[in-house]
Amino acid sequence: MPYTTKIPNTETHNAVRDTDARHHLHPFTDTQALNRKGARVITRAEGVHVWDSDGNQLIDGMAGLWCVNLGYGRQELINAAHEQMQVLPYYNTFFQSTHSPVTSLAQAIADITPGDLNRIFFANSGSEAIDTIIRMVRHYWTLKGKPYRKLLIARENAYHGSTLGGASLGGMPHMHGQCAPLLPGIHCIRQPYWYGEADGLSEDEFGLIRARELEEKLLEVGPDNVAAFVGEPIQGAGGVIVPPRTYWPEIQRICRKYDVLLVADEVICGFGRTGQWFGSQTFDFQPDIMSMAKGLSSGYMPISAVAVGDRIADTLIESGDDFSHGFTYSGHPVAAAVALENIRILQDERIIESVASDIGPYFQARLRDTLSEHPLCGHIEGTGLIAGLALVKDRKTRTFFDEDVGTLCRDECTNNGLIARACGNRMVLSPPLVISRTEVDEMVDRLRVALDRTYARVGGISAA
Ligand code: PMP
Protein backbone atom coordinates (compact mmCIF):
# COMPACT_ATOMS: atom_id res chain seq x y z
CA MET A 1 0.00 0.00 0.00
CA PRO A 2 1.25 3.54 -0.65
CA TYR A 3 2.39 5.06 2.60
CA THR A 4 0.62 8.06 4.03
CA THR A 5 1.08 10.44 6.90
CA LYS A 6 -2.61 11.41 6.80
CA ILE A 7 -4.89 10.27 9.58
CA PRO A 8 -6.30 6.99 8.22
CA ASN A 9 -10.02 6.39 7.77
CA THR A 10 -11.74 3.26 9.08
CA GLU A 11 -10.97 1.17 6.00
CA THR A 12 -7.29 1.76 6.31
CA HIS A 13 -7.02 0.79 9.97
CA ASN A 14 -6.53 -2.88 9.18
CA ALA A 15 -3.89 -1.90 6.67
CA VAL A 16 -2.16 0.15 9.37
CA ARG A 17 -2.19 -2.88 11.65
CA ASP A 18 -0.83 -5.13 8.87
CA THR A 19 1.91 -2.69 8.02
CA ASP A 20 2.74 -2.40 11.68
CA ALA A 21 3.15 -6.17 11.88
CA ARG A 22 5.31 -6.25 8.75
CA HIS A 23 7.62 -3.33 9.39
CA HIS A 24 7.46 -1.94 12.89
CA LEU A 25 9.56 -3.20 15.79
CA HIS A 26 7.91 -1.91 18.95
CA PRO A 27 9.87 -0.88 22.05
CA PHE A 28 9.59 -3.09 25.12
CA THR A 29 7.29 -5.51 23.26
CA ASP A 30 7.09 -9.19 22.41
CA THR A 31 6.55 -8.44 18.74
CA GLN A 32 5.55 -12.01 17.87
CA ALA A 33 2.78 -12.03 20.46
CA LEU A 34 1.68 -8.54 19.44
CA ASN A 35 1.53 -9.46 15.78
CA ARG A 36 -0.70 -12.44 16.56
CA LYS A 37 -3.41 -10.16 17.87
CA GLY A 38 -2.51 -6.90 16.08
CA ALA A 39 -1.62 -3.57 17.64
CA ARG A 40 -4.35 -1.24 18.85
CA VAL A 41 -4.46 1.70 16.44
CA ILE A 42 -4.85 4.97 18.31
CA THR A 43 -6.53 7.54 16.11
CA ARG A 44 -6.94 10.71 18.14
CA ALA A 45 -6.93 12.21 21.61
CA GLU A 46 -8.52 15.10 23.48
CA GLY A 47 -8.24 16.15 27.12
CA VAL A 48 -7.74 12.96 29.15
CA HIS A 49 -9.21 10.68 26.47
CA VAL A 50 -7.80 8.71 23.55
CA TRP A 51 -9.78 6.93 20.85
CA ASP A 52 -8.87 3.72 19.05
CA SER A 53 -9.77 2.64 15.54
CA ASP A 54 -12.68 0.53 16.80
CA GLY A 55 -14.26 3.73 18.08
CA ASN A 56 -13.53 3.01 21.76
CA GLN A 57 -12.98 6.02 23.97
CA LEU A 58 -10.47 5.30 26.72
CA ILE A 59 -9.50 7.37 29.75
CA ASP A 60 -5.75 7.72 29.59
CA GLY A 61 -4.88 6.94 33.18
CA MET A 62 -1.18 6.98 32.25
CA ALA A 63 -0.95 10.37 30.49
CA GLY A 64 0.63 8.53 27.55
CA LEU A 65 3.87 7.31 29.13
CA TRP A 66 3.67 9.49 32.27
CA CYS A 67 4.13 12.57 30.14
CA VAL A 68 1.02 14.31 28.81
CA ASN A 69 0.67 16.46 31.92
CA LEU A 70 -1.49 19.12 30.24
CA GLY A 71 -3.68 16.55 28.50
CA TYR A 72 -4.22 16.24 24.76
CA GLY A 73 -5.24 18.89 22.27
CA ARG A 74 -3.81 22.04 23.88
CA GLN A 75 -3.97 24.58 21.08
CA GLU A 76 -1.37 26.85 22.71
CA LEU A 77 1.26 24.11 22.44
CA ILE A 78 0.33 23.44 18.84
CA ASN A 79 0.59 27.17 18.07
CA ALA A 80 3.96 27.44 19.80
CA ALA A 81 5.34 24.67 17.58
CA HIS A 82 3.76 26.12 14.45
CA GLU A 83 5.04 29.62 15.04
CA GLN A 84 8.55 28.48 15.92
CA MET A 85 8.70 26.22 12.86
CA GLN A 86 8.01 29.23 10.66
CA VAL A 87 10.70 31.40 12.22
CA LEU A 88 13.49 28.92 12.89
CA PRO A 89 12.67 25.21 12.62
CA TYR A 90 16.17 24.09 13.52
CA TYR A 91 19.52 25.34 14.46
CA ASN A 92 22.20 23.68 16.54
CA THR A 93 23.73 24.98 19.74
CA PHE A 94 27.17 23.43 19.22
CA PHE A 95 29.28 25.97 17.40
CA GLN A 96 29.16 29.26 19.28
CA SER A 97 25.49 29.88 18.49
CA THR A 98 22.26 30.13 20.44
CA HIS A 99 18.63 31.18 19.93
CA SER A 100 15.93 32.66 22.09
CA PRO A 101 13.73 29.57 22.62
CA VAL A 102 16.63 27.71 24.21
CA THR A 103 17.85 30.62 26.33
CA SER A 104 14.32 31.42 27.55
CA LEU A 105 13.70 27.79 28.41
CA ALA A 106 17.01 27.48 30.26
CA GLN A 107 16.10 30.54 32.29
CA ALA A 108 12.58 29.24 33.00
CA ILE A 109 13.96 25.89 34.21
CA ALA A 110 16.56 27.63 36.37
CA ASP A 111 13.72 29.67 37.89
CA ILE A 112 11.42 26.74 38.72
CA THR A 113 14.07 24.31 39.97
CA PRO A 114 15.00 24.52 43.65
CA GLY A 115 18.39 25.55 45.05
CA ASP A 116 21.26 26.50 42.78
CA LEU A 117 20.36 24.43 39.72
CA ASN A 118 21.14 27.39 37.51
CA ARG A 119 22.60 25.91 34.34
CA ILE A 120 20.72 23.69 31.94
CA PHE A 121 22.00 21.11 29.42
CA PHE A 122 19.48 19.91 26.82
CA ALA A 123 18.87 16.52 25.25
CA ASN A 124 15.93 14.70 23.68
CA SER A 125 14.92 11.90 26.03
CA GLY A 126 15.14 10.89 29.65
CA SER A 127 17.73 8.27 28.75
CA GLU A 128 19.96 10.85 27.12
CA ALA A 129 19.60 13.12 30.15
CA ILE A 130 20.73 10.26 32.37
CA ASP A 131 23.68 9.41 30.12
CA THR A 132 24.59 13.09 30.19
CA ILE A 133 24.62 13.01 33.98
CA ILE A 134 26.81 9.89 34.07
CA ARG A 135 29.34 11.60 31.84
CA MET A 136 29.07 14.96 33.55
CA VAL A 137 29.60 13.77 37.12
CA ARG A 138 32.56 11.60 36.13
CA HIS A 139 34.12 14.48 34.23
CA TYR A 140 33.44 16.81 37.17
CA TRP A 141 35.45 14.67 39.56
CA THR A 142 38.32 14.40 37.09
CA LEU A 143 38.38 18.18 36.85
CA LYS A 144 38.40 18.31 40.66
CA GLY A 145 41.59 16.24 40.66
CA LYS A 146 39.83 13.09 41.83
CA PRO A 147 39.64 10.95 38.71
CA TYR A 148 39.20 7.88 40.90
CA ARG A 149 35.70 9.04 41.87
CA LYS A 150 33.99 7.14 39.07
CA LEU A 151 31.51 4.78 40.73
CA LEU A 152 27.78 5.34 40.67
CA ILE A 153 25.34 3.92 43.15
CA ALA A 154 21.71 3.30 42.20
CA ARG A 155 18.94 0.97 43.33
CA GLU A 156 17.26 -2.31 42.54
CA ASN A 157 14.00 -1.91 40.60
CA ALA A 158 14.95 1.60 39.51
CA TYR A 159 14.33 2.78 35.95
CA HIS A 160 16.72 5.28 34.41
CA GLY A 161 16.18 4.70 30.71
CA SER A 162 17.06 2.35 27.95
CA THR A 163 20.41 3.46 26.51
CA LEU A 164 23.41 1.49 27.68
CA GLY A 165 24.06 4.01 30.44
CA GLY A 166 20.44 4.22 31.55
CA ALA A 167 19.87 0.47 31.45
CA SER A 168 23.09 -0.21 33.38
CA LEU A 169 22.18 2.32 36.03
CA GLY A 170 18.62 1.03 36.31
CA GLY A 171 17.87 -1.99 38.42
CA MET A 172 15.81 -4.03 35.97
CA PRO A 173 17.27 -7.56 35.69
CA HIS A 174 15.51 -8.35 32.41
CA MET A 175 17.10 -5.32 30.76
CA HIS A 176 20.50 -6.17 32.22
CA GLY A 177 20.25 -9.66 30.78
CA GLN A 178 19.75 -8.33 27.27
CA CYS A 179 22.41 -5.62 27.20
CA ALA A 180 25.22 -7.26 29.15
CA PRO A 181 28.07 -6.56 29.53
CA LEU A 182 26.80 -3.52 31.39
CA LEU A 183 28.58 -0.24 31.84
CA PRO A 184 31.21 -0.85 34.52
CA GLY A 185 31.40 1.07 37.78
CA ILE A 186 27.76 0.84 38.87
CA HIS A 187 26.68 -0.52 42.24
CA CYS A 188 23.24 -1.13 43.57
CA ILE A 189 21.46 -0.97 46.91
CA ARG A 190 17.96 -2.20 47.76
CA GLN A 191 14.84 -0.11 47.14
CA PRO A 192 12.73 1.51 49.87
CA TYR A 193 9.65 -0.65 49.13
CA TRP A 194 7.97 -0.64 52.53
CA TYR A 195 4.82 -2.63 51.72
CA GLY A 196 6.66 -5.41 49.90
CA GLU A 197 9.87 -5.70 51.89
CA ALA A 198 9.62 -4.15 55.37
CA ASP A 199 8.78 -7.31 57.28
CA GLY A 200 6.98 -5.68 60.19
CA LEU A 201 9.11 -2.53 60.53
CA SER A 202 7.38 0.85 60.72
CA GLU A 203 7.62 3.01 57.62
CA ASP A 204 9.94 5.47 59.34
CA GLU A 205 12.29 2.78 60.63
CA PHE A 206 12.35 1.01 57.29
CA GLY A 207 13.08 4.25 55.41
CA LEU A 208 16.14 4.86 57.58
CA ILE A 209 17.37 1.29 57.28
CA ARG A 210 17.17 1.27 53.49
CA ALA A 211 18.80 4.71 53.26
CA ARG A 212 21.64 3.52 55.47
CA GLU A 213 22.39 0.78 52.96
CA LEU A 214 23.91 3.63 50.98
CA GLU A 215 26.41 4.26 53.77
CA GLU A 216 27.22 0.55 54.00
CA LYS A 217 27.79 0.42 50.26
CA LEU A 218 29.99 3.53 50.37
CA LEU A 219 32.14 2.00 53.07
CA GLU A 220 32.34 -1.27 51.12
CA VAL A 221 33.51 0.31 47.85
CA GLY A 222 35.37 3.23 49.42
CA PRO A 223 33.54 6.57 49.55
CA ASP A 224 36.40 8.31 47.75
CA ASN A 225 35.74 6.15 44.71
CA VAL A 226 32.12 7.22 44.36
CA ALA A 227 30.96 9.99 42.04
CA ALA A 228 27.23 10.05 42.75
CA PHE A 229 24.10 8.40 44.07
CA VAL A 230 21.16 8.38 41.64
CA GLY A 231 17.48 7.85 42.43
CA GLU A 232 13.96 8.65 41.33
CA PRO A 233 12.11 10.51 44.11
CA ILE A 234 9.29 8.01 43.54
CA GLN A 235 10.23 4.92 41.52
CA GLY A 236 7.83 5.09 38.59
CA ALA A 237 8.32 2.15 36.23
CA GLY A 238 9.26 0.05 39.26
CA GLY A 239 5.57 0.23 40.20
CA VAL A 240 5.19 3.64 41.88
CA ILE A 241 7.18 2.88 45.01
CA VAL A 242 6.74 5.82 47.37
CA PRO A 243 9.61 5.97 49.87
CA PRO A 244 8.95 6.49 53.59
CA ARG A 245 9.36 10.17 54.50
CA THR A 246 12.55 9.37 56.45
CA TYR A 247 14.29 8.00 53.39
CA TRP A 248 15.44 10.94 51.25
CA PRO A 249 16.65 13.23 54.05
CA GLU A 250 18.83 10.38 55.30
CA ILE A 251 20.15 9.70 51.79
CA GLN A 252 20.99 13.38 51.54
CA ARG A 253 22.75 13.38 54.92
CA ILE A 254 24.92 10.43 53.85
CA CYS A 255 25.77 11.95 50.46
CA ARG A 256 26.82 15.20 52.11
CA LYS A 257 28.87 13.37 54.76
CA TYR A 258 30.95 11.56 52.13
CA ASP A 259 30.87 14.34 49.52
CA VAL A 260 28.99 12.12 47.06
CA LEU A 261 26.88 13.99 44.49
CA LEU A 262 23.15 13.53 44.84
CA VAL A 263 21.27 13.02 41.56
CA ALA A 264 17.47 13.17 41.33
CA ASP A 265 16.00 11.51 38.26
CA GLU A 266 12.87 13.66 37.91
CA VAL A 267 11.83 12.31 34.51
CA ILE A 268 8.47 11.16 35.91
CA CYS A 269 8.13 13.20 39.10
CA GLY A 270 9.03 16.55 37.53
CA PHE A 271 6.52 19.16 36.36
CA GLY A 272 3.86 18.77 38.96
CA ARG A 273 3.19 15.07 39.18
CA THR A 274 3.63 14.94 42.97
CA GLY A 275 2.01 18.34 43.69
CA GLN A 276 5.22 20.38 43.54
CA TRP A 277 7.34 21.26 40.56
CA PHE A 278 9.76 18.45 41.42
CA GLY A 279 9.56 15.26 43.46
CA SER A 280 12.69 16.22 45.38
CA GLN A 281 10.71 19.15 46.83
CA THR A 282 7.90 16.82 47.90
CA PHE A 283 10.41 14.48 49.56
CA ASP A 284 12.50 17.23 51.06
CA PHE A 285 15.95 16.94 49.56
CA GLN A 286 18.13 19.14 47.40
CA PRO A 287 19.85 17.41 44.48
CA ASP A 288 23.16 18.56 43.07
CA ILE A 289 21.97 17.71 39.58
CA MET A 290 18.61 16.67 38.17
CA SER A 291 17.26 15.01 35.00
CA MET A 292 13.87 15.92 33.53
CA ALA A 293 11.92 15.04 30.37
CA LYS A 294 8.29 13.89 29.75
CA GLY A 295 6.26 16.61 31.55
CA LEU A 296 8.76 19.25 30.41
CA SER A 297 6.83 19.49 27.12
CA SER A 298 3.81 17.43 28.21
CA GLY A 299 5.14 14.92 25.67
CA TYR A 300 4.18 17.15 22.71
CA MET A 301 7.81 17.29 21.56
CA PRO A 302 10.77 15.10 22.52
CA ILE A 303 12.94 17.15 24.83
CA SER A 304 14.84 16.53 28.06
CA ALA A 305 17.13 18.55 30.26
CA VAL A 306 19.73 18.27 32.96
CA ALA A 307 19.62 21.02 35.58
CA VAL A 308 23.13 21.45 36.97
CA GLY A 309 24.05 22.95 40.35
CA ASP A 310 26.60 25.77 40.55
CA ARG A 311 29.27 23.58 42.07
CA ILE A 312 29.34 21.27 39.05
CA ALA A 313 28.56 23.89 36.40
CA ASP A 314 31.22 26.33 37.64
CA THR A 315 33.83 23.58 37.60
CA LEU A 316 32.97 22.62 34.02
CA ILE A 317 32.96 26.24 32.89
CA GLU A 318 36.14 27.23 34.72
CA SER A 319 38.03 24.25 33.28
CA GLY A 320 38.39 26.24 30.07
CA ASP A 321 37.92 23.06 28.03
CA ASP A 322 35.10 21.59 25.92
CA PHE A 323 32.65 19.25 27.58
CA SER A 324 32.77 16.76 24.70
CA HIS A 325 29.16 15.73 24.77
CA GLY A 326 25.92 16.77 23.09
CA PHE A 327 23.25 15.86 20.57
CA THR A 328 22.28 17.27 17.18
CA TYR A 329 18.94 18.25 18.67
CA SER A 330 20.17 19.56 22.03
CA GLY A 331 18.00 22.61 22.67
CA HIS A 332 15.92 22.11 19.51
CA PRO A 333 14.10 25.43 18.98
CA VAL A 334 10.66 23.93 18.31
CA ALA A 335 10.82 21.56 21.27
CA ALA A 336 12.11 24.41 23.45
CA ALA A 337 9.29 26.74 22.36
CA VAL A 338 6.71 24.07 23.20
CA ALA A 339 8.30 23.35 26.58
CA LEU A 340 8.33 27.05 27.40
CA GLU A 341 4.65 27.38 26.58
CA ASN A 342 3.95 24.25 28.63
CA ILE A 343 5.64 25.85 31.66
CA ARG A 344 3.71 29.06 31.13
CA ILE A 345 0.40 27.19 31.14
CA LEU A 346 1.34 25.20 34.26
CA GLN A 347 2.07 28.52 35.97
CA ASP A 348 -0.79 30.65 34.65
CA GLU A 349 -3.45 28.01 35.29
CA ARG A 350 -1.99 27.15 38.70
CA ILE A 351 -2.16 23.49 37.75
CA ILE A 352 0.50 22.29 40.19
CA GLU A 353 -1.25 24.07 43.06
CA SER A 354 -4.41 22.20 42.11
CA VAL A 355 -2.53 18.86 42.10
CA ALA A 356 -1.27 19.68 45.61
CA SER A 357 -4.46 20.87 47.21
CA ASP A 358 -7.43 19.78 45.13
CA ILE A 359 -7.38 17.14 42.42
CA GLY A 360 -4.40 15.21 43.84
CA PRO A 361 -5.88 14.69 47.33
CA TYR A 362 -9.27 13.96 45.72
CA PHE A 363 -7.74 11.26 43.49
CA GLN A 364 -5.83 9.69 46.38
CA ALA A 365 -8.92 9.65 48.60
CA ARG A 366 -11.21 8.23 45.89
CA LEU A 367 -8.73 5.42 45.18
CA ARG A 368 -8.49 4.47 48.85
CA ASP A 369 -12.22 4.83 49.60
CA THR A 370 -13.17 2.71 46.62
CA LEU A 371 -10.44 0.10 46.46
CA SER A 372 -8.57 -0.39 49.71
CA GLU A 373 -10.96 -3.13 50.90
CA HIS A 374 -10.99 -4.93 47.57
CA PRO A 375 -9.87 -8.56 47.99
CA LEU A 376 -7.11 -8.11 45.39
CA CYS A 377 -5.80 -4.87 46.84
CA GLY A 378 -2.94 -5.24 49.29
CA HIS A 379 -1.95 -1.61 49.58
CA ILE A 380 -2.32 1.73 47.81
CA GLU A 381 0.44 4.30 47.81
CA GLY A 382 0.83 7.58 46.00
CA THR A 383 0.83 11.33 46.25
CA GLY A 384 -0.45 14.04 43.93
CA LEU A 385 -1.52 12.39 40.69
CA ILE A 386 0.58 9.25 40.82
CA ALA A 387 -0.41 6.02 42.53
CA GLY A 388 0.46 2.33 42.75
CA LEU A 389 -1.72 -0.52 43.94
CA ALA A 390 -0.25 -3.86 45.02
CA LEU A 391 -2.23 -6.86 43.76
CA VAL A 392 -2.15 -9.66 46.32
CA LYS A 393 -3.40 -13.18 46.67
CA ASP A 394 -3.81 -12.85 50.42
CA ARG A 395 -4.22 -9.48 52.07
CA LYS A 396 -3.53 -10.74 55.60
CA THR A 397 -0.22 -12.41 54.86
CA ARG A 398 0.76 -9.99 52.03
CA THR A 399 1.24 -12.92 49.69
CA PHE A 400 1.75 -12.02 46.05
CA PHE A 401 0.53 -14.10 43.11
CA ASP A 402 2.86 -16.43 41.26
CA GLU A 403 1.03 -15.80 38.00
CA ASP A 404 1.06 -12.51 36.09
CA VAL A 405 -2.10 -10.97 37.51
CA GLY A 406 -0.93 -7.48 36.60
CA THR A 407 -1.24 -8.16 32.88
CA LEU A 408 -4.67 -9.73 33.39
CA CYS A 409 -5.82 -6.66 35.27
CA ARG A 410 -4.30 -4.28 32.74
CA ASP A 411 -6.21 -6.03 29.93
CA GLU A 412 -9.42 -5.86 31.96
CA CYS A 413 -8.82 -2.13 32.39
CA THR A 414 -8.41 -1.68 28.65
CA ASN A 415 -11.54 -3.73 27.96
CA ASN A 416 -13.35 -1.45 30.36
CA GLY A 417 -12.19 1.82 28.81
CA LEU A 418 -9.24 2.65 31.03
CA ILE A 419 -5.57 2.78 30.13
CA ALA A 420 -3.69 1.72 33.25
CA ARG A 421 -0.31 0.08 33.46
CA ALA A 422 0.86 -3.07 35.18
CA CYS A 423 4.37 -3.09 36.63
CA GLY A 424 4.75 -6.70 37.76
CA ASN A 425 2.20 -7.23 40.49
CA ARG A 426 1.41 -3.54 40.83
CA MET A 427 -1.17 -1.47 38.95
CA VAL A 428 -0.15 2.11 38.41
CA LEU A 429 -1.96 5.30 37.47
CA SER A 430 -0.53 8.67 36.46
CA PRO A 431 -3.26 10.64 34.63
CA PRO A 432 -2.95 14.07 33.02
CA LEU A 433 -2.75 16.80 35.68
CA VAL A 434 -5.79 18.52 34.17
CA ILE A 435 -8.13 15.63 34.96
CA SER A 436 -11.46 16.70 36.50
CA ARG A 437 -13.18 15.23 39.57
CA THR A 438 -15.82 13.59 37.37
CA GLU A 439 -13.10 12.01 35.26
CA VAL A 440 -11.29 10.81 38.40
CA ASP A 441 -14.56 9.21 39.57
CA GLU A 442 -14.96 7.49 36.23
CA MET A 443 -11.35 6.32 36.19
CA VAL A 444 -11.52 4.84 39.68
CA ASP A 445 -14.87 3.17 38.97
CA ARG A 446 -13.46 1.60 35.80
CA LEU A 447 -10.47 0.33 37.75
CA ARG A 448 -12.80 -1.19 40.36
CA VAL A 449 -14.72 -3.08 37.69
CA ALA A 450 -11.44 -4.30 36.19
CA LEU A 451 -10.28 -5.49 39.62
CA ASP A 452 -13.59 -7.34 40.11
CA ARG A 453 -13.22 -9.07 36.77
CA THR A 454 -9.59 -9.91 37.43
CA TYR A 455 -10.57 -11.34 40.79
CA ALA A 456 -13.16 -13.53 39.10
CA ARG A 457 -10.55 -14.74 36.61
CA VAL A 458 -8.13 -15.79 39.34
CA GLY A 459 -10.83 -17.74 41.14
CA GLY A 460 -12.42 -15.13 43.41
CA ILE A 461 -16.16 -14.91 43.60
CA SER A 462 -17.18 -11.31 42.94
CA ALA A 463 -17.58 -10.29 39.31
CA ALA A 464 -18.95 -7.18 37.74
N1 PMP B 1 14.23 8.04 33.98
C2 PMP B 1 13.01 7.75 34.45
C3 PMP B 1 12.74 7.92 35.92
C4 PMP B 1 12.01 7.30 33.61
O5 PMP B 1 10.81 6.99 34.10
C6 PMP B 1 12.28 7.19 32.23
C7 PMP B 1 11.23 6.75 31.23
N8 PMP B 1 10.10 6.17 31.71
C9 PMP B 1 13.57 7.50 31.78
C10 PMP B 1 14.51 7.93 32.68
C11 PMP B 1 13.92 7.38 30.34
O12 PMP B 1 13.25 8.30 29.57
P13 PMP B 1 13.10 8.11 27.99
O14 PMP B 1 12.17 6.96 27.78
O15 PMP B 1 12.55 9.43 27.53
O16 PMP B 1 14.45 7.85 27.45
How high is the pLDDT of residue 463?
A: 43
Q: What is the DSSP string of 159-202?
A: ---SSHHHHHHS--HHHHHHHPSPPSSEEEE----HHHH-TT--
Q: What is the mean pLDDT of residues 64-83?
A: 98
The pTM for the full model equals 0.97
How high is the pLDDT of residue 152?
A: 98
Q: Is 207 in the pocket of ligand 1 (CB under 6 A)?
A: no
> What is the C-alpha to C-alpha distance for residues 376 and 353, in angstroms, rounded to an integer?
33
Where do the CATH 3.40.640.10 domains begin and end in the chain?
76-348
How high is the pLDDT of residue 320?
A: 94
> What is the C-alpha to C-alpha distance for residues 102 and 380, in angstroms, rounded to an integer?
40
> What is the C-alpha to C-alpha distance for residues 444 and 101, in angstroms, rounded to an integer?
39
Q: Is 159 in the pocket of ligand 1 (CB under 6 A)?
A: yes
Rounded to the nearest angstrom, the distance between the alpha carbon of 294 and the centre of ligand 1 is 8
Q: Is 237 in the pocket of ligand 1 (CB under 6 A)?
A: yes
Q: What is the pLDDT of residues 344-353, one digit of tens each?
A: 999 999 999 9
**H or E element in which residue 446 lies:** helix 437-457
Residue 158 Cα: closest atom of ligand 1: 3
Q: Is 127 in the pocket of ligand 1 (CB under 6 A)?
A: yes
> What is the C-alpha to C-alpha distance for residues 11 and 323, in angstroms, rounded to an integer?
52
**Do 292 and 271 touch, CB atoms closer than 8 A?**
yes
b/e code 43-64 from CB counts within 10 Å (16+ = b): bebebbbbebbeeeebbbbbbb
DSSP-assigned beta bridge partners for residue 426: 390, 423
Residue 125 Cα: closest atom of ligand 1: 15
Whether residue 4 is predicted with pLDDT greater than 60 in this model: the reply is no
Whether residue 82 is predicted with pLDDT greater than 60 in this model: the reply is yes
Ligand 1 pocket, mutate which of 241, 267, 421, 430 (most atoms under 8 A from CB):
267
- ∠ at Cα 454 (450, 455), nearest 5°? 115
> What is the C-alpha to C-alpha distance for residues 360 and 358, in angstroms, rounded to an integer?
6
Neighbours of 42 (CB within 10 A): 14
For β-strands 289-292 and 304-309, DSSP reports them as antiparallel
Q: What is the pLDDT of residues 123-144, one digit of tens each?
A: 999 999 999 999 999 999 999 9
Q: Is 238 in the pocket of ligand 1 (CB under 6 A)?
A: no
Q: What is the mean pLDDT of residues 275-282?
A: 98
The residue whose CA is least distant from atom 13 of ligand 1 is 126
**CATH superfamily of this structure's domain 40-73+358-457:** Aspartate Aminotransferase, domain 1 (3.90.1150.10)
The residue whose CA is least distant from atom 6 of ligand 1 is 161
Q: Is 232 in the pocket of ligand 1 (CB under 6 A)?
A: yes
Q: For residue 298, which of 77, 125, 102 has the smallest C-alpha distance?
A: 77
Whether residue 38 is predicted with pLDDT greater than 90 in this model: the reply is yes
Rounded to the nearest angstrom, the distance between the alpha carbon of 453 and the centre of ligand 1 is 31
Q: Is 130 in the pocket of ligand 1 (CB under 6 A)?
A: yes
Model ipTM? 0.99
Q: What is the mean pLDDT of residues 114-127?
A: 98
For β-strands 261-265 and 226-231, DSSP reports them as parallel
Rounded to the nearest angstrom, the distance between the alpha carbon of 423 and the centre of ligand 1 is 15
The CATH label, of 1.10.10.10, 3.40.640.10, 3.20.20.300, 3.90.1150.10, for the domain at 76-348 is 3.40.640.10
Where do the CATH 3.90.1150.10 domains begin and end in the chain?
40-73+358-457
How high is the pLDDT of residue 11?
A: 56
Whether residue 8 is predicted with pLDDT greater than 80 in this model: the reply is no
Q: What is the pLDDT of residues 213-246, one digit of tens each?
A: 999 999 999 999 999 999 999 999 999 999 999 9
